[in-house]
């Protein structure tokens, strides 16, 4: 097989034929080529035209091969349509109208942006401008995203928020909606205001399909879930319920030992008693005997851990009633506050025992959000951040 034919088959776009190749001192390879066809179809009237009256050369950047930049110098023909009496330039498949980069180049650029540590290295490797990188990257991300999220709501949804930006002088948050059935993020919305959530999600079909909504103890998300997903059971996340007493325990402990996070008693107080060794339990109980108020808070914390070890909705309901009745007898403000919270969220807490779904998967996707923000050294545009995040979690 001749060399020109090999290059045409393995390097050029399918419709192009190689005329000659040029090797530049800076390491670039330029392939002069043209499209050979008997006729072209007019884009205005869809009539065949074989009348060529002019030529023009277009330089197009193609995907690099073995660290070598590839450029296609295409000699395009200008046709004259006798039916509508208008000229047009022949199209080349794999190159968009008016574009100076091939689709292969754009796909390669997308891979590099997801693989390299920062975009400055991508710009240096591909020898292109920052504008070209951003334009190609986010256009391809938007195209890929349509393949992943074009489907209705599923059975189980997780809702949570994470920090987005502080650029306007206050903390901005983003709310994510996790599809538990397909193990991906379904959508992300700027802010956590109920009206903004409803406005951004109103076009997604199948709200009646949602049967379970898992969320933290947020009144805003609870109100939104009740109105937006009318057939769903709202489930309070187990982790957020168990850590309700952690601030009170830490506050009482620091009053005794000082604010030293390395103090071993801190770890013993916050861990579940079931996970402590015998000698650790003994040492902890002996220490708590000197501080009766902290001991009372700790025992209620352990009672909540015991609640989540129960199997069965009815049994859990009876145990939760006994716990809240005991809390009613306490004089400590921390216990009274916890009782009010548990009474307010009683049904959502008990819904966990019907299917034992937690918000752990949603918290995992929040970690991906932190990695994206760290890798980008912060983000400013929520539009671009949404594309990066949804593609990373698809």
293 CB-contact burial (10 Å; exposed 0-12 / middle 13-18 / buried 19+):
middle
Using alpha carbons, list the distances in angstroms from residue 173 to 213, 230, 235, 371, 385. 20, 25, 22, 16, 12
Query: Domain ranges in the chain?
Result: 3-144, 156-237+358-392, 239-355
State the average pLDDT over residues 101-112. 90
Q: Is the pLDDT of residue 7 over 70?
A: no
Residue 271: is its pLDDT beyond 70? Answer: yes
* Average pLDDT of the chain to the nearest whole number: 89
Residue 1 pLDDT greater than 60, yes or no: no
CA distance 158 to 239: 14
pLDDT at residue 265 in the model: 87
How much is the average pLDDT of 104-129? 86
**Which 8-state DSSP code applies to residue 243?**
G
Higher pLDDT, 215 or 260: 215
The pLDDT assigned to 266 comes to 87
For residue 329, the SS3 value is coil
> Which of 25, 341, 30, 386 has the alpha carbon at shortest distance from 191?
386
Q: Report the pLDDT value the prediction gives residue 9, as an integer from 0 to 100.
A: 66
**Which of 1-10, 34-43, 174-183, 291-300 is the least confident region?**
1-10
The pLDDT > 90 percentage for the chain reads 51
Contact present, 179 and 185 (Cβ < 8 Å): yes
Q: Quick one: pLDDT at residue 153?
A: 94
Q: How far from 249 is each of 24, 70, 286, 297, 321, CA to CA, in Å?
A: 71, 64, 17, 7, 23
Q: What is the pLDDT of residue 8?
A: 64
Q: pLDDT tens-digit profile of 332-367?
A: 999 999 999 999 999 999 999 999 999 999 999 999
Backbone φ, ψ for residue 150 (5° rounding): -90, 70
CB 176 within 8 A of CB 228: no
* % of the chain beyond a pLDDT of 70: 97
Measured distance CA(31)–CA(22) in Å, rounded: 6
Instruction: Note the CATH number of domain 156-237+358-392.
Output: 3.30.420.10
pLDDT value at 6 more than 80: no
Q: Tokens for 4, please give them.
A: 């020109």
Coil/strand/helix, residue 9: helix
Q: Are 56 and 89 a contacting pair, CB within 8 Å?
A: yes
Query: Higher pLDDT residue, 239 or 65?
Result: 239
The pLDDT of residue 118 is above 70: yes
Can you give the C-alpha Rg of the chain in angstroms? 31
CA distance 319 to 300: 12
Confidence band for 21, pLDDT divided at 50, 70 and 90: confident
Give the mean pLDDT of 19-36. Answer: 88
Do the Cβ atoms of 294 and 288 come closer than 8 Å?
Answer: yes
pLDDT tens column, 275-286: 989 999 999 999
- The alpha carbon of residue 241 and the mean position of all alpha carbons in its chain are separated, in whole angstroms, by 25
Cα-flanking dihedrals φ and ψ of residue 34, to 5°?
-150, 160
Six-digit token pair at 36?
């050979």
pLDDT, position 340? 95
Res. 3 pLDDT band, cuts 50 70 90: low
Read off the pLDDT of each residue in 163-185 and give the average, rounded to a whole number.
89
**Long-range CB contacts (< 8 A, 24+ apart) of 226-229?**
227/194, 227/198, 228/197, 228/198, 228/201, 229/153, 229/157
**Running DSSP on this structure, what letter comes out for residue 28?**
-
* Residue 42 scores a pLDDT above 80: yes
Asked if 82 and 98 count as a contact pair (C-beta separation under 8 A), the reply is no
**Which residues, 6+ apart, have CB-to-CB distance to 157 below 8 Å?**
177, 178, 179, 180, 186, 210, 212, 213, 214, 229, 232
pLDDT at position 4, please?
Answer: 61
pLDDT at 5: 64
Average pLDDT rounded to a whole number, residues 184-213: 93
Q: Is the pLDDT of residue 329 over 90?
A: yes
Mean of pLDDT values over 114-127: 83
């Amino acid at each position: 097989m001749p060399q020109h034919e090999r290059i045409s088959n393995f390097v050029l776009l399918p419709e192009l034929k190689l005329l000659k190749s040029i090797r530049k001192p800076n390491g670039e390879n330029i392939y002069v080529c043209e499209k050979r066809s008997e006729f072209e179809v007019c884009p205005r009237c869809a009539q065949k035209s074989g009348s060529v009256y002019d030529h023009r050369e277009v330089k197009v950047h193609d995907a690099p091969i073995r660290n070598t930049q590839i450029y296609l110098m295409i000699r395009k023909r200008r046709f004259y349509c006798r039916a509508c009496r208008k000229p047009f330039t022949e199209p080349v498949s794999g190159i968009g109208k008016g574009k100076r980069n091939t689709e292969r180049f754009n796909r390669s650029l997308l891979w590099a942006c997801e693989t390299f540590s920062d975009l400055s290295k991508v710009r240096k490797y591909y020898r292109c401008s920052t504008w070209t990188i951003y334009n190609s990257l986010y256009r391809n991300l938007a195209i890929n995203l349509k393949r992943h999220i074009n489907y209705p709501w599923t059975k189980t949804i997780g809702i949570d928020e994470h920090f987005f930006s502080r650029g306007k002088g206050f903390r901005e948050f983003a709310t994510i909606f996790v599809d538990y059935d397909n193990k991906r993020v379904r959508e992300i919305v700027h802010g956590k205001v109920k009206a903004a959530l409803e406005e951004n999600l109103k076009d997604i079909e199948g709200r009646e399909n949602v049967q379970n909504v898992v969320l933290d103890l947020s009144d805003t998300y609870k109100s939104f879930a009740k109105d937006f997903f009318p057939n769903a059971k709202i489930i309070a996340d187990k982790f957020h319920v168990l850590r309700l007493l952690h601030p009170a325990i830490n506050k009482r402990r620091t009053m005794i030992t000082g604010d030293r996070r390395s103090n071993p008693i801190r770890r013993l107080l916050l861990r579940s008693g079931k996970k402590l060794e015998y000698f650790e339990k003994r040492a902890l109980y002996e220490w708590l005997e000197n501080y009766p108020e902290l001991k009372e808070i700790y025992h209620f914390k352990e009672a909540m851990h015991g609640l989540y070890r129960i199997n069965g909705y009815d049994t859990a309901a009876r145990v939760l009633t006994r716990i809240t009745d005991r809390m009613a007898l306490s004089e400590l403000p921390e216990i009274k506050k916890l009782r009010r919270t548990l009474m307010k969220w009683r049904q959502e807490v008990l819904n966990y025992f019907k299917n034992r779904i937690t918000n752990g998967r949603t918290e995992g996707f929040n970690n991906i959000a932190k990695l994206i923000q760290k890798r980008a050294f912060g983000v400013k545009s929520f539009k671009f951040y949404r594309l990066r995040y949804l593609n990373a979690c698809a």
